[in-house]
């Protein structure tokens, strides 16, 4: 049974990160400060009997704009469908409940799987950010809520990230 509960800063410190998550988050100088800052926005953690699968949320930057983040463990590979459905549903809820008009995120240039995944979620690649973190290149992605209905500005995405899709 998978439990979804509110994110706690200790989750960030306890999760056994996958390779690309380690490359990103090892470059932050103060993990405890990062863990606490991520709790300033709406966030959640998914836990299986084996441990933390992932935690994620949206950190508000200013009115209507937030930075989406997800930290994953290798357990994602044991629960891929559940993980995808929960992220899809929770992201839609967080956008709607917190009145975000733009949600952005970054993806490592070399992590092709994550690039495809965020694009499938409806995020649009806005370009390369060279030497963004730890000397590594990242892509900036955004999801734009249009017309008050959660629609993305991408033509190949689903029509909405809200939970009406039954996920």
Burial 5-39 (b: 16+ CB within 10 A, else e): eebebebbeebebbebbebbbeeeeeeeeebeebb
Highest-confidence range of 25-34, 51-60, 157-166, by mean pLDDT? 51-60
- Mean pLDDT (the chain, rounded): 85
In this predicted structure, the answer to whether residue 162 has a pLDDT above a threshold of 90 is no
Structural domains present in the chain = 3-73+80-158 (3.40.630.30)
> pLDDT-derived band of residue 148, with 50, 70 and 90 as boundaries?
low
pLDDT in the model for residue 104 = 97
Q: What is the pLDDT of residue 4?
A: 94
87-138 pLDDT, tens digit per residue, is: 889 999 999 999 999 999 999 999 898 899 899 989 999 999 999 988 889 9
Q: Which residues are registered as beta bridge partners of 6?
A: 44
Higher pLDDT, 52 or 155: 52
What digits encode the pLDDT tens for the residues 11-36? Answer: 998 998 887 777 776 667 788 898 99
pLDDT of residue 166: 27
Tell me the Ramachandran region of residue 166: left when phi exceeds 0, alpha when psi lies from -120 to 50, beta otherwise: left
For range 39-63, the mean pLDDT: 95
């Amino acid at each position: 049974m998978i439990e979804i509960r509110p994110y706690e800063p200790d989750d960030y410190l306890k999760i056994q990160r996958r390779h690309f998550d380690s490359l990103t988050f090892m470059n932050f100088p103060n993990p405890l400060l990062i863990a606490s800052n991520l709790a300033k926005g709406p966030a959640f953690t998914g836990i299986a009997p084996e441990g933390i699968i992932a935690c994620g949320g949206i950190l508000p930057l200013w009115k209507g704009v937030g930075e989406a983040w997800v930290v994953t463990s290798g357990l994602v590979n044991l629960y891929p469908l559940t993980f995808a459905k929960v992220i899809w549903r929770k992201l839609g809820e967080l956008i709607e409940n917190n009145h975000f008009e733009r949600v952005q995120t970054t993806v490592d240039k070399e992590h092709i799987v994550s690039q495809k995944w965020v694009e499938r979620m409806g995020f649009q690649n806005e370009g390369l950010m060279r030497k963004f973190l730890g000397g590594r290149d990242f892509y900036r992605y955004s999801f734009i809520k249009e017309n008050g209905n959660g629609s993305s500005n991408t033509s190949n995405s689903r029509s909405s990230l809200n939970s009406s899709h039954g996920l």
